Amino acid sequence: MKFSEKWLREWVNPKLTTEELGMELTMAGLEVDSLEKQENDAIFEIDLTPNRGDCLSILGVAREVGALKQIPVTAHKINPVKATIEDTVKIDNQAPSLCPRYIGRIIRQIRKVPTPSWIQERLEKSDIRCIHPVVDILNYVMLELGQPMHAFDLNKLTAPIVVRTAKSDEKIKLLDGQEVTLKDDTLVIADSKGPQAIAGVMGGLDSGVQDDTTDILLESALFTASSIAGKARQYGLVTDSSFRFERGVDSQLQSDAMQRATALIIEICGGEPGPIIQIESEKDLPKLSEIVLRYARLGQILGIDLPQPKVIEMLGRIGCELLDYSSSNETVKVKPKSYRYDITTEVDLIEEIARMVGYNNIPNHLPKTGSQFLAQSETRVEVTRLKKAFVDMGYQEVITYSFVDSNLQKKLFPEVAALPLLNPISSDMDEMRLSIWPGLISTLQYNQNRQQQRLKCFEIGLCFMPEGGALKQSSKLGAILTGEYQSESWGIQKRVADFFDLKNHLESLWSLLGNKLPLQFIPHAHPACHPGQCAQIVWQSQPRGWIGKLHPKLSKDLNLDGQVYLLEVDTELLTTKPLPVFARPSRFPEIRRDIAMIVDQGVLSDSLINFVRSSAGEILREVKIFDVYTGKGIDSGRKSIAMGLILQHPSRTLVDEEVEVVIQSVVTGLKKEFSAELRD
């Protein structure tokens, strides 16, 4: 925001030079990006953090300087302008949760006169061009008080005025001349003909104030930050109005802004004002927080001891009302004023006190707490070990944003509602991620667009799942595999990576952690995965993740080449391992027996392995599947699964008769349990 130093000093005039004033603002968090000196004036440009929308006005900056330098702020007295006509218009607020307060006022018989030079000069110094005296006055009030306003040509409106969300495919021609098709989550100001403004962003050309306008409807409204956030960027717009509403405005400012604008319009353009028309939803208005500050916590964080009267005085300076305090100097209870809507917690108060004290005036202290060495659990696996294991298997670690494209995420998880961002940094980063997969797929798109078809990547990060009105955060490990299994080389036969490569990598990691019992992979449908190549990862009867091939339709929609395989599993599952148990290895030989069983196509290999383990007894050391066959000699709907059984006794050598008894028991059980046949 740019503003004139001379204008600021009309409100608050500290005994500081221009340069000292700039340094004071910067050190307080209102960073001065540039300072341009002019004859008898200087132009400040400040860069604010998103939480300090209250300083996007002369009034806000003046309050800040007054609080820092402990001097009074000379604010213009705003007197109500009495109505001289009875004209009103019906206003219907159909979206009170998005617009808790809407104030309108008719002014008739305004004259077309030049904008006064003092307003023109201040607007130009703030990089706002002059358009029309009414529009210029509203822009002036916005710069002065921080409340964006809008004026409609009353004669171009057809009552009633309706505050609502847009209907699907509604269009509006904006003041800048472009026509946009509205999305159904966009808040609009409409009349009986259709939308006349995108609320808090820009008005429509058809109802805008022109040179021949004589009657106007003024608007001063409170639009919530969530209703405006990101909307301007969706339509390729960035306006002073949307910039302020996205960061929040004072919820008690709308009436004062209307009176101030009315007074200036009557003074400059003449006219007959009507009564104030105010529509308000009390339950949807922002509620001011009551905050308790603990002196012990203040001293712990800042490292300084401040007397209670000094703390109370500072809190009053930053715009907090004293509600209660303890005589024993333990706590103080305050309520921030409406313009300090960014103060909601105890830590916010401590930050404000630090700014009032001055960061340079807070001495450096070594930490008072001693180091505490905690016992490390033997069952704990560090995340760094998981990362190293994946790197050793040829993967590269990626780190992507937790903000993802809602369109991509909706394709992957069409039935899950994600958490939208109020103020996204870009239109393709407007939701919190439900899974690691959107980031990995975006990484694949980026690489394939640069002729990199082979990709083995993994990421460990937080995912965010709305659950029962709260937000559940959980750490996930995700991986993506596509293209050639190994890097191109003259001595290696080419092979495309497949589902079982990714499954093997997870199982290898699982074994590396010392787990004796295997994970279960249960065929299950996932909207993002191929229906025939997708499994839910289960441990101890609890679903812990997914593995599968990206659905061909999604691959086509996303313009991805080749077969794409995805994995996601709870990080917690992989960061806990069983305690190692020492067992003396048997010195007696192992015996291997191979059997091939013909079973129905629907029988899972996991079911066969579990059955063999349970029926073979304690001498079974390992069972592995080494072949799956369908085709000639096998009936339709059936398959042959070949298994190798490793047998060993801990204290003696097995004889063939014992082995045969075990094998026959296993085969008989498989026949009975799975209607299996022994293949010759």
DSSP 55: G
Q: Using alpha carbons only, give the angle 555, 561, 562 rounded to the nearest 5 degrees.
A: 90
How far does the chain reach from its first CA to its final CA, in angstroms? 84
220-257: pLDDT as tens digits: 999 999 888 878 888 888 899 999 999 999 999 999 99
pTM of the predicted structure, to 2 decimals: 0.63
Check whether 369 has a pLDDT greater than 70: no
CA distance 484 to 671: 40
Q: What is the mean pLDDT of the chain?
A: 92
What DSSP string runs through 509-575?
HHHHTT--SPPEEEE---TTEEEEEEEEEEETTEEEEEEEEEPHHHHHHTT--S-EEEEEEEHHHHS
- Closest to 286 measured CA to CA, from 251, 318, 254: 251
CA distance 432 to 464: 6
List, in sequence order, every residue forming a beta bridge with 487; answer none if it has no partner.
Answer: none
Check whether 455 has a pLDDT greater than 90: yes
Residue 193 CA from chain centroid, whole number: 36
Residue 169 one-letter amino acid = D
468-487: pLDDT as tens digits: 778 899 999 999 999 998 88
Check whether 273 has a pLDDT greater than 90: yes
pLDDT at 653: 93
CA distance 160 to 91: 6
Domain 383-574 has CATH 3.40.50.620: no
| H-type alpha helices, 56-192 | 58-69, 117-125, 133-145
Check whether 367 has a pLDDT greater than 70: no
pLDDT at 485: 87
Q: Hey, do 2-69 and 291-359 end up sharing a CATH topology, with the first three levels equal?
A: yes
- Closest to 343 measured CA to CA, from 332, 334, 354, 331: 334
CA distance 317 to 310: 11
Helix, strand, coil percentages for the chain (3-state, nearest 5): 30, 30, 40
pLDDT at 489: 81
CA distance 549 to 570: 19
Residues in the chain: 680
Residue 404 one-letter amino acid = V
pLDDT band at 386 (very low <50, low <70, confident <90, very high): very high
pLDDT at 326: 80
Q: Which residue has the higher pLDDT, 373 or 65?
A: 65
Check whether 333 has a pLDDT greater than 70: yes
Residue 600 host element (H or E): strand 591-600
Percent residues over pLDDT 70 in the chain? 99
Check whether 664 has a pLDDT greater than 70: yes
Task: Give mean pLDDT, residues 557-579.
Answer: 92
Domain ranges across the chain? 2-69, 91-284, 291-359, 383-574, 591-678
Q: Are 620 and 645 in contact (CB under 8 A)?
A: yes
118-132: pLDDT as tens digits: 999 999 999 999 999
CATH code matching the domain that covers 291-359, chosen among 3.40.190.10, 3.40.50.1820, 3.30.56.10, 3.50.50.60: 3.30.56.10
What DSSP string runs through 57-94?
SHHHHHHHHHHHHT----PPP-PPPPPSS-----EEES
591-678 has which fold? Alpha-Beta Plaits (3.30.70)
CB neighbourhood size of 466 (10 A): 14
pLDDT band at 70 (very low <50, low <70, confident <90, very high): very high
Residue 197 host element (H or E): strand 194-198
pLDDT at 370: 64
- Closest to 230 measured CA to CA, from 168, 187, 289: 187
Task: Give mean pLDDT, residues 145-161.
Answer: 95
CB neighbourhood size of 145 (10 A): 24
CATH code matching the domain that covers 2-69, chosen among 3.90.105.10, 1.10.287.130, 3.90.1310.10, 3.30.56.10: 3.30.56.10
List, in sequence order, every residue forming a beta bridge with 656; answer none if it has no partner.
Answer: none
Spell out the residues 6+ positions from residue 678 whose beta carbon is closer than 8 angstroms to its own: 595, 596, 597, 598, 667, 671
Task: Give mean pLDDT, residues 45-69.
Answer: 94
Residue 470 host element (H or E): strand 470-482
pLDDT at 408: 95
289-328: pLDDT as tens digits: 899 999 989 988 888 888 989 999 999 999 999 998 887 7
Least confident interval from 181-190, 301-310, 362-371, 445-454? 362-371
CA distance 564 to 552: 9
- Taking the domain 91-284, which CATH number applies? 3.50.40.10
- Closest to 135 measured CA to CA, from 53, 202, 221: 202
pLDDT at 669: 94
pLDDT at 368: 63
> CB under 8 Å, gap of 24 or more: what pairs does 172-180 form?
172/196, 172/197, 172/198, 172/204, 173/204, 173/205, 173/206, 174/198, 174/202, 174/203, 174/204, 174/205, 174/235, 174/237, 175/202, 175/203, 175/204, 175/205, 175/208, 176/202, 176/237, 177/205, 178/236, 180/235
Angle between helices 605-616 and 656-674 (to 10 degrees): 140
Least confident interval from 106-115, 283-292, 310-319, 489-498? 489-498
Tokens, residue 537: 């990862």
Task: Give mean pLDDT, residues 13-20.
Answer: 94
Task: Give mean pLDDT, residues 439-458.
Answer: 94
Task: Give mean pLDDT, residues 572-598.
Answer: 88
Spell out the residues 6+ positions from residue 103 whose beta carbon is closer than 8 angstroms to its own: 219, 220, 221, 254, 255, 258, 276, 277, 278, 279
CA distance 72 to 62: 9
Task: Give mean pLDDT, residues 380-406.
Answer: 93
